[in-house]
Structure formats: C-alpha cells, structure tokens
Amino acid sequence: MSAQDTGAVEAALAAFFAARGANAVATPILQPAEPYLDTAGEALRRRIFLTRGEGGRSLCLRPDFTIPVALAHIERGQALPRRYSYSGLVFRQDRGDGPAEFRQAGIEDLGDPQTGEADARAIADALAALEACGIERASLETVVGDQGLFEAFLASLGLPAGWQRRLVRTFGNDGLLVQALESLSTGSSRDVFANLAPDLVDAARAGDVDTLADEISEWMEEGGLPPHRSRTAREVAERLVEKIAVAEARLDGALLERLRRFLAIDCPLDRAEAELTAAGVAPGASLALLEARNKALTTAGVDLSTIRYRAAFGRPLDYYTGMVFEISAPPLAGPLAGGGRYDRLVSFLGARETIPAVGFSLWLDRIETATATATGAAK
C-alpha cells in the first residue's frame, strides 16, 4: 500500500475516534517493564524487548497501548468516565505474521459503570472503525468470549480455589486447557507426595497449616536458611496445602461432562444465552451481563446472528477479566481488531479506586492489507 493510502487509513481513524468522543493521548515508546511482566501473561512477556534505564530500572519498548494509556490516565487524574484514543508503533519479538515493529490504533474506555453497554460499544466501535477504513462489514468475522462467565461456571462446580486459578490461566489456550482437564480427570498426586513424610501429607490434607509451618521452620533452621529470606515457613505451608488439594481434586464424570459441554459451546451470539442455560449456567450476574450486552449491541445496529460466541475463547493477556473479542477478515491471517474488559488492571497500576475498563486495538498493517485486497478484487 502506498504512503498516501496509509495516511488515508490513519486520517479516517483519527476522524472516527474524534466523532466517538475519544481524547487522543500520546505515550512514550519506552515504558516501565514491570507492569507488563506482572500483568500481561506469558504469551506477551516472552516477546517484549527489554532494556535497562538509569539506576538499573527495567524498561521495554512499548508492546501494546492499554497499559501506557492507563498509566497516563492515573498520572493526569482526569475525571471519569473518559475515553482515550491512540495511534503509533508497538514492538514485539518473534512476530511470525509480520515485522517486530508495527502500528496499532484503538480506544480505551475507562470508568463507565454500565458494563454491558460499554462492552457492546467496544465491539460496535471496532466494527465501525474497520468500515471507516473501507472494509465491508459483510467480509468480517467476529468471535466473542467471556472470562467472567467461565470463572462463574467454575465456581459453581465446587473446585478448589487452586484448580479454579489454574483453569482460568489456561483460558483461551485450547492446548493447555485440554491438558488441565486431563489432569483434573486423572490426577498426578504422586509427584507432589514423593518427598514428603506421611505425617506431613496427612497434615496438608487436613489443612493443618500450623503443624506444617512448624515443621518447615525447623527444616529451615537446620538447613541454615536465614529468617525472612524469600517465602516464610507459613507461606510455604499454605502453598503446600493448596498444591495437595489441587493434586487430589477430581471431578466426577457428571461434573466433568458439564465442564466439557460448557467449553464446547460455539454458536451465534443470539443463541448464546439459551446454550449456556442448557449447559447448566445458573441465572445470575454473568448471564444478566450477557443479556445487557446483547441488547446494547442490537440497539447499536449489530446483527447478533453474525457474531460467534465461543465459551472457550480467550485472548492471551492475563489482565482481561470479562468479555473479549476479535475481528478478522478471512482468508487473511491474524485479527484486524481485538479487545476486551480489564476491570482490575487500572487499580493494580496505581489508581486509588477500582476503575471498570474496556478497550480495543486495531492492527493497521493488517487493515491496510485487507483494504488493498478488497480494492484489488473490486477492479
């Protein structure tokens, strides 16, 4: 695509963002690394370009915009709700479908308490932004998932907290999720028990943290480990209790089948509520949020039957907490747009209050390829 065409896409998006009431924000290319290392997830962490700043501070080339925009909001102390737009370079190593340096643009929507409506706005605006770039909506495929629904369903199964966390960490990675379900059905207790005395195994099974902590403290002293070094004896004991609970946890056949049935849901979005109810998802906040989101999408002119809902669909960023989505234009590889909800991130980064947040990113290089392909096909 020519520089003129590239400029046209960026100009179209700038006008679109302004029309949507998003305030343009610029963020430095060099960012503190810790927020990404702590919240982004392994898939992004291993692709970050790391460096050192003054005093040995860990820095990185900006691998996405969500964290820098959130940090900029905290620093400026702007009133809420507030929408931010951005456009610029991001940097990721080992990007198999393109160069390590590429351009993104998007919107971050902070502080809107109407979660369903804000989620729907993110999806609808992402679709409209692609149309503003010259891509017909009929050529797009959108898939939506919901980590919040997944977490609520896991809680209803009565799994140990450790198992719930492990399964949540696999959300969106089909291979890891299959491995976790296999472990949950067959178990791997012997590896955990291999080097433990029987009385300690019994104490861990009983959740007797005090007894375990006393024993571990004695081992530390006998081994010459200094006090207050790394984890305390009690922290080690609590981790051991959880580890054994996870290793011994089993889902009986009926519950495991319920979980597999939930994860197998893949249907048009207008059928999602019925499919989830049939899979055993009880009425509650999660289903109410799905209903509110779908109603808001319909009001925004989005045809729910053209969007896929996949119960096992997630995106490889640990800071997501709820709805996630991607939009693609087959047969082109990779999403043109993607985003989701991240309600815990802004407070983790330093905000004094919990700030509901949702946003989306647009891959400008892929959008330009899609636009060029559509233009060539029309000639």
**pLDDT tens digits for the chain (379 residues)?**
444 466 889 999 999 999 999 999 999 999 999 999 888 877 788 889 999 888 888 999 999 999 999 999 999 999 999 999 999 999 998 766 668 899 999 999 999 999 999 999 999 999 999 999 999 999 999 999 999 999 989 888 877 777 788 788 888 888 888 877 777 776 554 555 556 667 777 776 677 778 778 877 776 666 655 554 456 777 777 777 666 666 666 666 777 888 889 999 999 999 999 999 999 898 899 999 999 999 999 999 999 999 999 999 999 888 999 999 999 999 998 999 999 999 999 999 999 999 999 999 999 999 999 988 766 555 4
> Which residues pair with residue 86 across a beta bridge?
106
Distance CA 260, CA 335 (A): 27
**Contact between residue 336 and residue 367 where contact means Cβ atoms under 8 Å apart:** yes
How do residues 62-90 score in pLDDT, each as one tens digit? 999 999 999 999 999 999 999 999 999 99
DSSP 108: E
List pLDDT tens digits, range 128-155: 999 999 999 999 999 999 999 999 898 8
Strand duo 23-24 + 82-91: pairing = parallel
Which residues have CB under 8 Å from 218's CB, separation 6+?
A: none
227 upstream amide cis, omega within 30 of 0 = no
Question: Which stretches of 46-113 are DSSP H helices?
Answer: 66-76
Structure tokens at 56: 């040995």
CB burial of residue 140 (10 Å; 0-12, 13-18, 19+): buried
Distance CA 12, CA 5 (A): 11
What's the rounded Cα separation, in Å, for the pair 142 and 337?
9
DSSP 122: H
Burial (CB < 10 A; 0-12, 13-18, 19+), residue 160, is middle
pTM: 0.82
> Among residues 352, 332, 290, 302, which one has the least CA distance to residue 148?
290
| CA atoms of 116 and 12, how far apart (whole Å) | 27
Report the alpha-carbon distance of residue 335 to residue 325 in Å, rounded.
10
CB atoms within 10 A of CB 144: 24
Nearest to 25 by CA among 90, 67, 87, 81: 87
Length of the chain in terms of residues written: 379
